[in-house]
Structure 1
Amino acid sequence: MQSEKKLFTFEETKQKLVNYCVYQDRCHAEVEQKMREFVLIPEAKEEILLYLMKENYLNEERFTRSYIRGKFYIKSWGKTKIKIYLKQKGITEKLIAKSFDEIDEGDYVKTIQRLYENYESKLKGLQAYQKKSKTIKYLLSRGFEYEVILQLTEN
């Protein structure tokens, strides 16, 4: 079943997309996905995208930095998982690498240690090596790098 596309004037559509970007930082891919809900000729889409960028409603670097902060400081994701999700949103490798300075290295280490201790303390009835192995797997699933996890768990 084809969902009905909404019919709005060019100005109404532009305002809806401005509101969409103001509510939360967005990347190009998200805005282009949202535009598919509206009946727009390619030229209109292009004009709206240019307007959103010119007026700074749509800013890929701001989006990337905000995404990294949110996923790390709120969701406690590691850099690997964050990078995978940003790449799926069409963000370049270069911009991702440049924006990782949003994460303080000290906070990164503390987060891994906190997650490690919390998770390991919940594992009951296992031998030490089993606990360590399960905890490392858990941290990898959260997107933390194997080398970093090992450095912190060696002691």
Structure 2
Amino acid sequence: MQLSKKTYTVQEATKKMEHYCAYQERCHQEVRQKLTGMHMIPEAIDIIIVHLLEHNFLNEERFAKAFVGGKFRVKKWGRRRLAFELKKKDVVKVNINQALREIENEEYIEVFNGLAEKKADSIKETNKLKKRKKLIDFLIYKGWESHLVYEKANELIP
């Protein structure tokens, strides 16, 4: 017995994608993947994406700003990680830079300092060099700029 795959008309798929985009900001790549998963043909995918763009369900600049705001505030990612993750989602450089400019420098440094201090306190390593390395690796992984990271690591773990 073969399971039949659900097929969608362009209208059904469009409605489904309107809900998908209204629920949460999406990038073009996510929408395209979702439609491909729904077994839509490339021509239909293009028609639906154009519809979503024209009706403002899909807006990559808005997506980039929401993504950056969320990941920065919740996961405390630095600019390098934010830019990298957006590039992986095929967001254009202009939108990435626009979104990154939304983060105030003062708030950026404040979040960085808070994160670094909290992490430094939580590392149970007694060897200063190992402890400093763990802190540096953690902050670099989170996408913070290396000059900030090394400066802070040397300040917190002299």
| TM-score strictly above 0.5 | yes
Structure 1 residue runs of 5 or longer lacking an equivalent are none
Q: Tell me how far apart the structure 2 counterparts of residues 85 and 40 of structure 1 sit (CA, whole Å).
A: 27
Rate the CA distance shift 1:138–1:47 in 2: closer, same or farther, 3 A: same
Deviations, residues 54-99 of structure 1 (Å, cap 9, x unaligned): 0000001000000000110011111111111111100122321122
Q: CA deviation at 1:125?
A: 4.8
Deviates more, 1:137-146 or 1:89-98: 89-98
1:40 Cα offset (Å)? 2.7
Distance in 1 (CA, whole Å) between partners of 2:125 and 2:39 is 60
Task: Tell me the equivalent position of 2:67.
Answer: 67
What is the root-mean-square deviation in Å for CA atoms of aligned residues? 1.8
- Write out the 4+ residue segments of structure 1 that deviate beyond 6 Å after TM superposition: none
What is the number of residues matched between the two proteins?
A: 153
Give the Cα separation in 2 of the matches to 1:125 and 1:21: 45
In structure 2, relative to structure 1, the CA distance for the partners of 1:22 and 1:54 (3 Å cut) is same
**Could you say which residue in structure 2 is the equivalent of 1:31?**
31
3-state SS in 2 of match to 1:36: helix
CA contact (8 A) 1:27 1:58 kept: yes
Deviation at 1:151, TM superposition (A): 3.8
Paired position in structure 1 for 2:137? 137
What is the aligned-residue identity percentage?
A: 33
Counterpart CA distance in 2 for 1:109 and 1:65 is 19
- Give the TM-score of the pair, scaled to structure 2: 0.87
Matches within 5 A, 1:70-149: 70-149=70-149
Task: Give the superposition deviation at 1:128.
Answer: 3.6
Cα contact 2:81–2:142 (8 A) shared by 1 = yes
